[in-house]
């Protein structure tokens, strides 16, 4: 069996220790972090964001150890500067217009091109890379795996507030990101040649300088031999991160297994998958998603059970049953968005919501 290695990137919020609002202070954390963590700590466009990325991990247990270690490091580095760290898809209170942009030619270019669309993109996501045997198989897997993106997204929803407003969405993050070009569910590609031709045209016509400026919810990574899931909100706890990453790894392994036997899972059109993505953003795990085969609405809990049955024959091969089964606890306790909303309902105070996120970010470390 091919080793479906893992890499996880998390985008953290840097907060003022007193006000708990976003603080443009990432450079201080970066200075201390680079010595210890080298390439595993990175700046982002806004100075109140810091990205932590694991090394290539052989299995989910190794990934969990890395995620836990990196969270502890960033929390410790922030504490030395009197700052706090939070893991959520948006900050409940802060306003994007008050945040400073990182001084970097790449970000200067983005701002020059996209203006307020780029400046207002103050959102936080989790990206998971899963190693693939080759690009041809990777593209085939990507085409099919698109169907499961709304399922994963609903589980990860963790951004119900934006600029001190309750948005009515479980994930408002994707609504903000939708303003960018080349985002959302990717189209179907019939071959790697077709995919490469698409990227070449965009480069040739100065839309992008390389494939990294294609920000789809899932993509064949332009430089690494991975399929990269980019659909999820930044998640509060290590348990949630490792659960979703394990499910993603299983989806790729299962589709690869089918591919090797010349079998497949039906590939659905983007316009249909988009309907499910919208429902996932609006209602999270309380959504009814569409079962396109049956052509009817199905409660999320039933669809996630079907997904678990679909991947069941690869779970033990990958040694991630404990992590995958955590999904039942997530259904029971609610997504990050559900828990944020519950705290707000009980306290009526968004600062209490931020406090809760900060506590959960460090949970189990």
pLDDT in tens, 217-229: 999 998 889 999 9
Residues β-bridged to residue 161: 166
Domains in the chain: boundaries: 6-361
- Report the percentage of the chain scoring pLDDT > 70: 100
CATH of 6-361, one of 3.10.129.10, 3.30.590.20, 3.40.50.300, 3.30.70.330: 3.30.590.20
Q: What is the mean pLDDT of residues 265-281?
A: 93
pTM of the model: 0.96
Q: Label residue 230 by pLDDT band (50, 70, 90).
A: very high
Residue 125's pLDDT is 98
Locus of tokens 């989806």: 251
């Amino acid at each position: 069996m091919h080793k479906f290695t893992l890499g996880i990137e998390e985008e953290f919020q840097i907060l003022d220790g007193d006000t708990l609002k976003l603080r443009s202070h990432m450079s201080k954390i970066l200075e201390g972090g680079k010595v210890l963590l080298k390439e595993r700590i990175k700046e982002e466009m806004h100075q109140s964001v810091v990205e932590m990325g694991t090394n290539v991990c052989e299995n989910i247990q190794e990934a969990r150890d890395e995620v836990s270690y990196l969270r502890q490091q960033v929390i410790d580095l922030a504490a030395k500067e009197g700052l706090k760290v939070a893991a959520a898809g948006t900050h409940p209170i802060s306003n994007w217009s008050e945040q400073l942009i990182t001084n970097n030619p790449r970000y200067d270019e983005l701002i020059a091109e996209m203006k307020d669309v780029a400046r207002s993109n103050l959102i936080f996501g989790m990206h998971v890379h899963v190693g693939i045997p080759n690009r041809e198989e990777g593209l085939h897997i990507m085409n099919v795996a698109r169907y499961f993106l709304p399922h994963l997204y609903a589980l990860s929803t963790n951004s119900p507030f934006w600029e001190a407003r309750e948005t009515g969405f479980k994930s408002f993050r994707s609504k903000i990101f939708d303003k960018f070009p080349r985002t959302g569910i990717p189209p179907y590609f019939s071959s790697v040649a077709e995919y490469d031709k698409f990227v070449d045209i965009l480069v040739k016509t100065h839309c992008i300088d390389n494939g990294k400026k294609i920000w789809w919810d899932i993509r064949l990574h332009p430089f690494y031999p991975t399929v990269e899931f980019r659909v999820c909100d930044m998640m509060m706890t290590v348990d949630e991160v490792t659960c979703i990453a394990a499910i993603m790894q299983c989806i790729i392994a299962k589709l690869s297994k089918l591919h090797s036997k010349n079998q497949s899972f039906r590939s659905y059109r983007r316009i249909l998958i988009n309907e499910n993505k919208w429902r996932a953003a609006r209602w999270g795990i309380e959504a009814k998603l569409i079962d396109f085969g049956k052509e009817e609405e199905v409660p999320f809990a039933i669809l996630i059970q079907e997904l678990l049955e679909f991947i069941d024959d690869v779970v033990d091969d990958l040694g991630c049953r404990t992590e995958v089964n955590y999904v039942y606890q997530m259904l029971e306790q609610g997504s990050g968005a559900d828990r944020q909303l519950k705290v707000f309902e009980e306290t009526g105070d968004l600062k209490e919501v931020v406090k809760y996120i900060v506590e959960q970010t460090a949970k189990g470390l």
